[in-house]
Amino acid sequence: MEQDNGTQISEFLLLGLSEAPELQPILFGLFLSMYLITVLRNLIIILAVSSDSHLHTPMYFFLSNLSLVDICFTSPYIQKMLLNIETQSKHIAYAGFITQMYYFLLFSGLDDFLLTVMAYDRLLAICHPLHYTIIMNPWICGLLLLVSWITSALDSLLRSLMALRLSFFTVFEIPHFFCELSQMIQLTYSDTSFNDMVMYLSALLLGGSPFARILYSYSKTTSSICAIPSAQGKYKAFSTCAFHLSFVSLFYGTAVLGVYLSSASTHGSQSSATASVMYTVVTPMLNPFIYSLRNKDTKQTLTVFFVKETTNRQTILSLK
């Protein structure tokens, strides 16, 4: 990747959320705490689902995969930002930039697909309960997950490879805390018309289409809930969908309205990075609360698990 003066790109500068020295310890402590909470709570969900046979259902299968994706989604950016703050360095190698961008595209795409599949799962469970176990069998669930991984991987690989053909100015400062394709495109002097076309087409097909399917699924689900004669059953079904919709609204609202539909001046400023914190850090942290820690079955499983572990530890210590 050569520039006009013959020098080769070796690194970029990630300016982060703020360059003020007095804010760096606060940012470090805040994001370290949020990252540890995100990892711990999502790991608890994965552990609960895998340890209890009663939770081996399609909904919890996709939920555990969503928790795994959330951990992978937030880890590269937070770890790099914390390392940069600790070492007082803003440098990231060119290869590291492309790799981080690939993982961002991969796991954000997986988030889209998993949210769509989970909305479809709730649609079948509420609107077609008699056919639910037949349609959402283990083979179909595995196939839906595999298709989601393959589609996201191919899309992120294509867009990352296209970024390799771009040439850049001598200024490589990026007002962001992680590597984003749109920020990278703003630094190039190459013709980006094809990159822009692929980026918008991908956003439409892999972002807009899943979002439309989610809205359709929940609109049909809401109609079916309103037809439930029992007030208790109606409340239970509606509360579950409400938590799901709040997560979807937070993820898409911050990702689309807060970043990608912002004006050009805002898109290249620190405010874009601040908006990105919501869907790269806050949303994965809130996922366990919205989807499972408010769920009676999950609470019961976690209580039984920790009581059992505590009892086993006390038994072992007493034997020693």
Q: Which of 208, 184, 210, 204 is nearest to 195 (CA)?
A: 184
Higher pLDDT, 170 or 283: 283
pLDDT in tens, 37-86: 999 989 988 888 888 777 788 988 998 899 999 999 888 888 888 888 88
State the pLDDT at residue 227: 74
DSSP 39-69: HHHHHHHHHHHHH-GGG-SHHHHHHHHHHHH
- pTM of the model as a whole: 0.81
- Per-residue pLDDT for 302 more than 70? no
Range with the largest mean pLDDT of 19-23, 100-104, 247-251: 100-104
Using 50, 70 and 90 to split pLDDT, how confident is the model at 151?
very high
Give residue 4's pLDDT.
44
**Structural domains in the chain?**
11-308 (1.20.1070.10)
Question: Lowest-confidence range among 193-197, 246-250, 280-284?
Answer: 246-250
* CA dist list (Å): 181 to 100, 105, 178, 201, 223: 10, 9, 10, 14, 39
The Cα 291–Cα 285 span in angstroms is 11
